[in-house]
Amino acid sequence: MRLLKLVPDNTNIDFMRWRTVGLVLSLLITIASIGLVATRGLNLGVDFVGGQMLRVSFSEPVEIDTLRDRIEALNHGDATIQEFGGPQTISIRLPLPEGGEAAANAAAEQVKDVVSKEYPSARFDAVETVSGKVSGELFRSGALAIGLAMLGIAIYIWFRFEWQFGVGALTTLFHDVVVTLGFFALTQLEFNLNVVAAILTIVGYSLNDTVVIYDRIRENLRKYRKMETVPMLNVSLNETLSRTVVTSLSIMLALAMLLIFGPDVIFGLTIAIFIGIFVGTYSSIYISSPILVALKVGPDSFIAKAAPVGEQAGSRNEGY
Amino acid sequence: MEFSRWKVWGISLVCLIGILFAIPSLLPDRVASQMPSWMPSARISFGLDLAGGSQLLLEADTKDVATQRIATMEETIRAEMRRASPRIEIGDISTSGGRLAFMVRNPAQVDAAVELVRSLTQPAGLTGQRDWTVNVVDTSRIVIQPTEAGINAALNQAMDTAREVVYNRVDPDGTKEVTVIRQGDDRILVQVPGLQDPEGLKALLGKTARLDFKLVDLTADPAQVAQGRAPVGSQVLPYPESAAGRIAVQRRAMVTGDQLVDAQQGYDQTTNEPVVNIRFDGSGGRRFAKVTQDNVGKPFAIILDDVVLSAPNINEPILGGSAQISGNFTVESANQLAISLRSGKLPVELKVIEERTVGPELGADSVKSGAIASIIATAAVIAFMLVTYGRFGVYATLALVLNAFLILAVMAIFNASLTLPGIAGFVLTIGAAVDANVLINERIREELKRGRRILDAIDTGYKEASTAIFDANITNVIAAVLMYYFGSGPVRGFATVLMIGIVTSVFTAVNFTRMLVTLWVRRARPRELHI
């Protein structure tokens, strides 16, 4: 039986040769992402800015502009109307009116009436009202969770490996999270609680590749004491390449099926993880590893811990 | 290759139990209800976003608790000072600035008054603090200030009571599967599956439903009342049904809603209007009888949340312990009031700060497309594994299927709810679960290339891959735990699936496949390995 080999045996790709290019490219993408978030901003959902959201599905595609005109005629302030997942599922977001809860309910009722009149087939799938106080808290706790997750994982890596690896992991995570945010700023897909969950997932999963590669680097640092750092990194990356490709493809394959066949409501969550896994695979090769060169990781990085054992063994040998 | 018999039995047993517990969740309702009784019956429940329903997040007005506490303290002190012998005359009572202060008229009684007030305070918190501090200023003025520990203890108690009251109002018959839980210091989360229109629910929770019966102050000058001023010992309250719009009543409540044993919606026998019939408990009934006996011919105000509903004249003493509340009700509002009165008053006012309602169709659509996507995703990953690893791909596949069963089983056993993002978590876990097998298989490939013999290569492959598998999964666990801790509702559902999936996938990918591989190698004794 012939098996599929996506990555041929004994690859010897000189990844590190392009490490400067890779780092510059990553830096540019990171800056571009920050710029996008700063200028275009994230399309924050009601979870984070407060307000009301109605999710409506229609039996046939609808003209968003017509719908927007009708709703804006109600004078409830800036309505955000957009598709999610397809032209038949629309989300309508309204700012929270000043009159408190009663006014908010009245506004939602008016919108419902207008939409039902125009499109008798409309089905109201969900109504969400989030007060400014709650949205502020959700925003802060979301940001805190992502920050703590990044820090926690970096500390774990530091603990299990060496400080250089912790710094590498943290930089990689920062890059992956920022690029995902940039993607959301670029596409203006709604940024809600689900997307925060997706980013936390990315923080966990995009680092898988990095951890596996680091694990191999540690092994090779002990095995090939005499080898220069750069070729040793190349050997490690090549040895793990097949695994990196197979695992990332497997995850992206599963997620692609969910994007195509799955529920519209979690499109944002799924696409975020999908992008994050893709970016994470790239960054595990072109950020996590080159940073180790910059931080001067060498065979000595791990010897400190191994030394006492070695010395004991050495002195005993002398005794014989 | 070592693999003891008891290990084989242990792993097989876990698999069997897993499959057994997963089955009820996979069957349609009709079939699941007809399963033999020895089968486990726990099924995965759907979160609100899949089942449809309403969720409200209520926040208590914490200032309300503090104000009420001071008001209660004021009443207690007045009563105790009156009852003391010799009676202690006090005056110039103020409740402004979050504290209670009053003057003791006879300077000789200051010490006795302080002693009395101190006896009313209680220990609060763990530091030995009391719930109020009592001080004397300007020789005869006593200032009573609530401590933080006291306020927190009061708030905590109020929230516990409020949670219970909310539960009784949302689900008076105890038949719906509602969730009412406290969140943080001052919040209550209410989830009602299947509820599509939360307006009725909000109306029910929007009232504290404090019911007071107070005598109308007939001595009050109508002109003064119109300006909101009442004689000493009385207060002016809004009375929407009257011509003047307000009315003066005595401050002291003769009977309160705390003394009710029942409240039912009914109809007035003469006007046929909807009313609420109430019944007092023993002491409440006696008190009500006495008050009505002593005040025949005078108006008696029925007050709900400081608004006068009606102030009928007492035509004759009411001795049976029952009374009727009228007040321009509709059948629905009378019914809501009856439920509210039965459940008791809310110790604190609650405001809705977050509200989410999901229709049932969206959930049903999502479950369907989510199930289809999960099956296709699993099939795609299986196909990918088979073409990449051949025989070892079959093992990975079996591990994958078993993993799916185990996730469902664990969720059913722990009664975890599946949410929309949870479906994404499931698919992600399916895609990522093979990672451990990929690591192991790649390592075996490598070891074979290095010239190790088959048995040796498999052993080394499993051993060497395990540190990477462990480290890689710990990072996922860190992220998932934080997600669970900081997230709410649907996001928690996602984190739950991820955490369960991480544990089960390591078990199936490492222990389970190891068993399969070992059993095969023992039996077939292969000369070469295609991997």
pLDDT tens, N- to C-terminus, chain B (531 residues):
567 788 888 889 999 999 988 888 888 777 777 778 777 878 888 888 888 889 999 999 888 888 888 888 888 888 888 888 888 888 888 888 888 999 888 888 888 888 888 888 888 766 778 888 888 888 888 999 888 888 888 888 889 989 988 998 888 877 778 889 998 888 999 998 888 888 888 888 878 888 899 999 988 888 888 888 888 888 899 998 888 888 999 988 888 888 888 888 889 888 888 999 999 988 889 999 999 999 988 999 999 888 898 888 888 888 888 888 887 888 888 888 888 888 888 888 888 888 898 888 888 888 899 999 999 999 999 999 999 888 888 998 999 999 999 999 999 988 888 888 888 888 998 888 888 888 898 888 888 888 888 888 888 989 888 888 888 888 889 888 988 888 777 788 888 888 999 999 988 988 898 888 888 888 888 877 777
Nearest by Cα to B414 from B481, B493, B349, B335: B493
- CB B311, CB B216: distance < 8 Å: yes
CB-CB contact of B60 with B187 (8 Å): yes
A265 domain residue, yes or no: yes
* φ/ψ of residue A210, rounded to 5: -60, -45
- CB neighbour list of residue A133: distance below 8 Å, 6 or more residues apart: A50, B59, B353
Do residue A31 and residue A60 come from a single domain? no
Is B372 in Cβ contact with A201 (below 8 Å)?
Answer: no
Q: Are A268 and A195 in contact (CB under 8 A)?
A: yes
Q: How far is A223 from chain B (nearest CA, A)?
A: 14
Q: Do the domain assignments include residue A5? A: no
Among A211, A204, A178, smallest CA distance to B425 is for: A204
Chain A, residues 238-297, CB within 8 A of chain B, namely 239-240, 242-243, 246-247, 249-255, 257-258, 260-263, 265-266, 269-270, 273
A204 and A283 in a single domain? The answer is: yes
Kindly list the distances between the CA atom of residue A199 and the CA atoms of A268, B153, B354, in Å, as whole numbers in the listed order: 11, 38, 24
For A193, the domain range is: 15-41+135-294
**CA distances from residue A247 to A14, B374, B400, B440 in whole angstroms, order as listed:** 21, 18, 14, 12
DSSP state of B295: T
Q: How far is CA A9 from the centre of its chain?
A: 31
Q: Which tokens go with B499?
A: 């955490």
Q: Cβ contacts (< 8 Å) between A201 and chain B: which residues?
A: 425, 428, 479-480, 483, 494, 498
Shortest CA gap B105–chain A (Å): 47
The residues near B319 (Cβ < 8 Å, ≥ 6 apart) are B289, B292, B293
In a domain, A308, yes or no: no
Tokens in use for B32? 């699941």
Is the Cβ pair A204, B479 closer than 8 Å?
Answer: yes
Cβ–Cβ gap B487/A6 under 8 Å: no
Angle between helices B360-389 and B420-449 (to 10 degrees): 10
Among candidate residues A130, A151, A175, the one where a domain is terminated:
A130
Instruction: Point out the domain boundary residue: A78, A102, A130.
Output: A130
- Do A172 and A274 fall within a single domain? yes
**Average pLDDT score over residue span A45-56:** 89
Q: Do A87 and A234 share a domain, yes or no?
A: no
Count structural domains, chain A: 2
In whole angstroms, what is the distance from residue A228 CA to residue A230 CA? 6
Residue with tokens 């192991």: B440
Inside any domain, residue A307? no
The structure tokens 């059913």 sit at B412
B-chain residues within 8 Å CB-CB of A152? 478, 482
Q: Is residue A299 part of a domain?
A: no
Q: Are residues A59 and A164 in the same domain?
A: no
Q: Distance between CA B55 and CA B198 in Å, rounded?
A: 8
Interchain pair A254, B471: CB under 8 A: no
**Is residue A124 located within the same domain as residue A230?**
no
Q: Which token pair is B268?
A: 């007035």
pTM: 0.82
Among A6, A11, A48, A201, most B C-beta atoms within 10 A, so best to mutate, is A201
Same domain, A121 and A189: no
Pairing of strands B274-280, B260-267: antiparallel
Q: Tell me how far apart the alpha carbons of residues B256 and B302 are, in angstroms, rounded to a whole number.
A: 10
Is A3 inside any structural domain?
no
Closest listed residue to residue B513, CA positions, set B446, B461, B452: B461
Whether the upstream peptide bond of residue A290 has omega within 30° of 0, thus cis, is: no
